[in-house]
Structure 1
Amino acid sequence: MSGALSHIRVLDLSRVLAGPWASQTLADMGAEVIKIERPGSGDDTRGWGPPYLKDLVSNDTREAAYYLAANRGKQSVTLNISKPEGQEVIRRLVKECDVFIENYKVGDMARYGLSYDELKKINPRLIYCSITGFGQTGPMAHLPGYDFIIQGIGGLMSITGERDDLPGGGPQKVGVAVADIMTGLYTTIGILGALAYRNQTGEGQYVDMALLDVQVATMANMNMNYLCSGKVPHRQGNAHANIVPYQVFDAKDGELIIAAGNDSQFAKLCEVIGCPEMAADELYATNANRVRNREVLIPLLQEILSRRRVAEWIALIEPEGVPCGPINNIGQVFEHPQVRHRGMRIDLPHPVAGSTPSVANPIKFSGTPIEYTKAPPTLGQHTKHVLSSIGGLSESEIRQLIEKGII
C-alpha cells in the first residue's frame, strides 16, 4: 500500500453513492477500504443498469456502470449483519480498523448492537461516521433521504432551470446526484478532520452527516443573496445572479458560454466582438450596473454573438483572457485535449471483464501520487481473505459462516 492514507483502514457499511463516494476518495488516497455487502445481492447500485460492464465474451456482468463509478480501490466482503454471527464479525473487524462508515436508517446500527457507543468500547480510537438524509436528530431524522428529494427540499431546484416566464421554464434537478456527491466529499473532509484530532489526542469520535445539511450549506452565494437582501432567489436558466455577462449565448452553430467575471474582462470582450463603446457606456461599465441593466445588455450581446460560429468566437475571445467555451457532451469531454492530457480516464484490470474504464481522482499529489491498482470488486471477492487475515477467523469458523448463509 502507498499513498497519503496508507496507514488507515476503513470498514465501509455504506451503500449507493454518498458513503461509497467518500470511501472511494479515501481509497484513492491509499486507505485500505473493506466494503461490507449483503450476501447474494450486494450494494443496490450493482443492479442499477443498464448499462453494465461487459465480460471477456461481450456478455453483461452483474457490475452496473453506476456501481463502478463509486467503488474503485476497495475489497468486497459479503456479510449478513442482521444476524448475531455477522454482527460479531463486524466487532472483530472494528478492532483492527480506524474508520467506520454507515448509511443505515437512524436506529438500525443500535438495533444490531453496532452503534458508536457500543463499538467505541471495542476501539476507543474509532472514527465512526453515519450518513443519512436528514441527520441523527430532528423531526425528519427517521425518514429516508434520496438525492432528488434533497435537491427539492434543500432549495437547489428552486434556482435550477429556465426562468418561469420563458419556454421550458420550471424547476429542474441537476443532471448528477450532487447532494450525494457533495455529502461524500464533506464526509471525507470530516473523517480527515477527526483523524487529525485523533493523531493529537488519541481519541476517536462520532461524525453525523446529513444530505440536507450539505445541500443547504452548498447553496453558497445564493444563501447569502437571500440572507443579506431578504429577497428569495429565483431560477435564471444559464444566467448568473451576481455577474453579467456570465451565461450561454446562441452562436451561429450552437451554444457559447461567456463568463466575464470582472470589468476588465468585459471591456476586452467588447473590444474583441467589435463594440468597444459598450464597455464605456455608464449603463454597462461596472458589473453592478450590468446586473441592473441585464435585460437591455444581453439582447445586444446576443445579436452580435449570433453572427459567428462557436469555434470562431472562441478563437477570438479566448486569447484575450476572457473565459469562454463550448458546451460539450460527455463523449466530447473525454476526447478533449486538456482532459486527455490530465489523464482523467483510466483503465483498471478486472477479474471478469479483463479491464474496466474509470475516471481518475482530480487530486494531484506531488509526494504521494494516487495509484490506481484495484478495480471495483466483484461481490464477495475478498471475503475469505479479509476475514482470515484481518478478522482472525479460522478456516473452520469461515466454513461455519458459509454453511449458515452469514457470508
Structure 2
Amino acid sequence: MAQLMFKGLKVLDCSSFIAAPAAATILSDFGADVIKIEPPGAGDPYRAVPSLPTMPQAKENYAWMLASRNKRGLALNLAKPSAQQVVRRLVVQADVFITNFPAVVRKKLGLRYEDLAPLNDRLIYASFTGYGEYGEEASKPGFDITAWWARSGLMDGVRTEATAPPARSLTGMGDHPSGISLYAGIVMGLYQRQLTGMGAHVGTSLLANGVWCNGVMAQAALCGARFIDRPPRERALNAFTNYYQCRDKRWLILTILNEERQWPVFIKCLGRDDLQNDRQFATSRDRMKNAVELTTVLDKTFATKDRSEWREILAAGGIVFDVVASAQDIPNDSQILANDILVPFDNDGVLTVTSPICVEGQNKVKPRRPPAVGQHSDEVLREAGYDAAMIEQLRADGAVA
C-alpha cells in the first residue's frame, strides 16, 4: 500500500454538525488520526438528524457514518475547567485544531487561536463560522440553509420561474462544499508551516462559500448587470438547455450549446427528420426566436419513450444531456461505481461516499465506522499522558465520559 499522505498527522475535531467535521473527515481519508471531541450523553447534535421526521428513514445512522468515519471518539464536558485542560494538553501534541464554536464560546472556553497558539507554535487552527469572524452578525448562528443557501442569493436564483416560491436546499448541500474550502485552508496552513516552521489561523464561512458558489451572478451584480427573470419551463428562452419529462415520468436535461452543428444530429436521434423542413426552426435564430414552440414539440416527442430509451439514443448520437437522477439512483449508478466514488466500510461491505479528491500514488484508508460517544476516551487520554488515576478523577469530575 502506498504511503498515506497524512499518516502521523494528529487532528482535533472540536466541531459539530457537518461542514467543519467534513474537513476533518477528508484528512482522515488520507490517513490523519482524527479525534472527535463531543459532549457526553447525546454527543454531537448532528447524530440526531436522521431521526427527524423529514429525513429518510433507515436502520443505519447514515448522517453520522458520513460525517465521522475513521475518527476516534473523546467525550468531554467543556464546561468543566479540567476538560478544557485536557484540550490544551492535546493541543500541545496536535497538528490541527478544528472548531466551529462561535467566537463568544471560544473566548469563554479559552479555545481561541490566541489561547491555543502559544501552546504549540506549529498548530494549524482552523475556525469555521456561519457569517464570518467580523461584523455585527459574526456571532449569529448559521446553517447551510440560512447562511449558504438563502443569504448568498442561491435560494432566490434557482426558482423554477420568477413567480415561484424559493426552493429549499437539501441537508448538507452547502456544508460539504464548504468543508472542502476549510480542508483547503488547512492544507495551505500545513504548507505554510512547511515553509516557515510556524502554524497559522485559517478559516472560512458558510456565507463566503455561498457567495463563491453563486459567484457568476454575484459578479454580474457587482458589475451592475441587468438581471432577466427566469420564465416558466414551458416558456424557456432556449429549448436546448431545458429539461423534459419522458414517458415514464422521469426527467432529463439538455445542454446543447452548439446547436447549429448538432441540430441535424439531434432531430435524427429524436426521429423527427420532419423538423428539418419546418420553417419555424430553419435557422439557429429561428430556433431561438421560437423556443417556446420548440419546447412544446420536444415535450411531446420525449413523452413517447422512457428515459432509459432516450438515454441510449442521445448518448449514441453524442448529444450533451444527462438524467435528472434521484438520490435512490446513486447506489446503482455505474459511472459512480466505476470511479470509486462509493467505497465500502471496512469488514461489512456497506458503502459510503468517499471524499471527492484523488492524488496519484496516494491511497485512502479503508473507511472505518464512526465512534460511539466517547468510545476512545481512555485510549486518547492515555496517549496524552494521563494515567488511570487521573482518568478516573476526570470521570469523577464529570469532565470526561
Fold match, TM over 0.5?
A: yes
Deviation sequence 1:258-309 (CA, Å, 0-9, x none): 2213344455323422334677504157xxxx4x764444334333333333
* Structure-to-structure mapping, 1:94-105, within 5 angstroms: 94-105=91-102
Deviation sequence 1:38-86 (CA, Å, 0-9, x none): 011211111223389xxxxxx96xx732222211111110111221111
Cα distance in 2 for residues equivalent to 1:198 and 1:242:
51
Decide whether aligned partners of structure 1 residues 199 and 323 sit closer, same or farther in structure 2, where only a CA change above 3 A counts: same
Q: Which residue of 2 aligns with 1:159?
A: 157
Whether the 8 Å contact between 1:18 and 1:183 is mirrored in structure 2 is: yes
Whether the 8 Å contact between 1:24 and 1:72 is mirrored in structure 2 is: yes
Q: Which residue identity lines up with residue 192 of structure 1 in the other structure?
A: V
Q: Which residue of 2 aligns with 1:83?
A: 80
Decide whether aligned partners of structure 1 residues 312 and 324 sit closer, same or farther in structure 2, where only a CA change above 3 A counts: same
Whether the 8 Å contact between 1:36 and 1:79 is mirrored in structure 2 is: yes
Q: Is residue 120 from structure 1 mapped to residue 117 from structure 2 by the alignment?
A: yes
State the shift of 1:157 in Å.
0.9
Deviation sequence 1:224-261 (CA, Å, 0-9, x none): 3434452246456779x997622311222222222213
Deviation sequence 1:343-380 (CA, Å, 0-9, x none): 34333258xxx675422333333311112242111111
Whether the 8 Å contact between 2:103 and 2:139 is mirrored in structure 1 is: yes
Q: Which residue of 1 aligns with 2:171?
A: 176
Q: Is residue 93 from structure 1 mapped to residue 87 from structure 2 by the alignment?
A: no
Cα distance in 2 for residues equivalent to 1:225 and 1:277:
39
Cα distance in 1 for residues equivalent to 2:213 and 2:268:
36
User: Quick check: which one's helix share is greater?
Assistant: 2
Q: Which residue of 1 aligns with 2:134?
A: 137
Q: Which blocks of at least 5 consecutive residues in structure 1 are unaligned?
A: 53-58
> Which secondary structure does the structure 2 equivalent of 1:49 belong to?
helix
Decide whether aligned partners of structure 1 residues 356 and 39 sit closer, same or farther in structure 2, where only a CA change above 3 A counts: farther
User: Quick check: which one's strand share is greater?
Assistant: 1
State the shift of 1:222 in Å.
2.4
Q: Which residue of 1 aligns with 2:392?
A: 399
Q: Which residue of 2 aligns with 1:72?
A: 69
Cα distance in 1 for residues equivalent to 2:223 and 2:237:
13
Q: Which residue of 2 aligns with 1:17?
A: 18
> Which secondary structure does the structure 2 equivalent of 1:207 belong to?
strand
Q: Specify which of 330, 333, 339 is matched with residue 330 of structure 2.
A: 333
Cα distance in 2 for residues equivalent to 1:234 and 1:94:
52
Cα distance in 2 for residues equivalent to 1:243 and 1:371:
46
Q: Which residue identity lines up with residue 206 of structure 1 in the other structure?
A: H
> Which secondary structure does the structure 2 equivalent of 1:107 belong to?
helix
Q: Specify which of 326, 340, 343 is matched with residue 343 of structure 1.
A: 340
Cα distance in 1 for residues equivalent to 2:232 and 2:145:
19
Q: Which residue of 2 aligns with 1:42?
A: 43
Q: Which residue of 1 aligns with 2:368?
A: 374
The CA RMSD measured in Å over matched residues stands at 2.8
Whether the 8 Å contact between 1:160 and 1:236 is mirrored in structure 2 is: no
> Normalising by the residue count of structure 1, what TM-score does the alignment of the two structures yield?
0.86
Deviation sequence 1:116-174 (CA, Å, 0-9, x none): 01111111111111111111101111110112212112111101232145xxx221022
Q: Which residue identity lines up with residue 253 of structure 1 in the other structure?
A: D
Decide whether aligned partners of structure 1 residues 178 and 328 sit closer, same or farther in structure 2, where only a CA change above 3 A counts: closer
Decide whether aligned partners of structure 1 residues 312 and 373 sit closer, same or farther in structure 2, where only a CA change above 3 A counts: closer
Q: Which blocks of at least 5 consecutive residues in structure 2 are unaligned?
A: none
Q: Specify which of 205, 217, 240 is matched with residue 222 of structure 1.
A: 217
The percent identity for this pair of structures is 28
Cα distance in 1 for residues equivalent to 2:333 and 2:230:
30
Q: Specify which of 361, 364, 377 is matched with residue 358 of structure 2.
A: 364
Decide whether aligned partners of structure 1 residues 130 and 233 sit closer, same or farther in structure 2, where only a CA change above 3 A counts: farther
> Which secondary structure does the structure 1 equivalent of 2:64 belong to?
helix
Decide whether aligned partners of structure 1 residues 378 and 355 sit closer, same or farther in structure 2, where only a CA change above 3 A counts: farther
Cα distance in 2 for residues equivalent to 1:223 and 1:296:
32
Q: Is residue 4 from structure 1 mapped to residue 5 from structure 2 by the alignment?
A: yes
Cα distance in 2 for residues equivalent to 1:242 and 1:137:
42
Report the count of equivalent residues: 387
Decide whether aligned partners of structure 1 residues 113 and 261 sit closer, same or farther in structure 2, where only a CA change above 3 A counts: same
Deviation sequence 1:175-234 (CA, Å, 0-9, x none): 233221221111011111111111111121112321111111110322234344522464
Q: Which residue of 1 aligns with 2:180?
A: 185
State the shift of 1:35 in Å.
0.7
* Structure-to-structure mapping, 1:175-324, within 5 angstroms: 175-228=170-223, 230-232=225-227, 234-235=229-230, 245-254=240-249, 255-263=251-259, 264-266=261-263, 268-273=265-270, 274=272, 275-276=275-276, 281-283=283-285, 290=288, 294-324=291-321
Q: Which residue identity lines up with residue 403 of structure 1 in the other structure?
A: A
Decide whether aligned partners of structure 1 residues 343 and 212 sit closer, same or farther in structure 2, where only a CA change above 3 A counts: same
Q: Which residue identity lines up with residue 15 of structure 2 in the other structure?
A: S
State the shift of 1:312 in Å.
2.3
Whether the 8 Å contact between 1:244 and 1:260 is mirrored in structure 2 is: no
Q: Which moved more, 1:303-312 or 1:8-17?
A: 303-312
Decide whether aligned partners of structure 1 residues 157 and 235 sit closer, same or farther in structure 2, where only a CA change above 3 A counts: farther
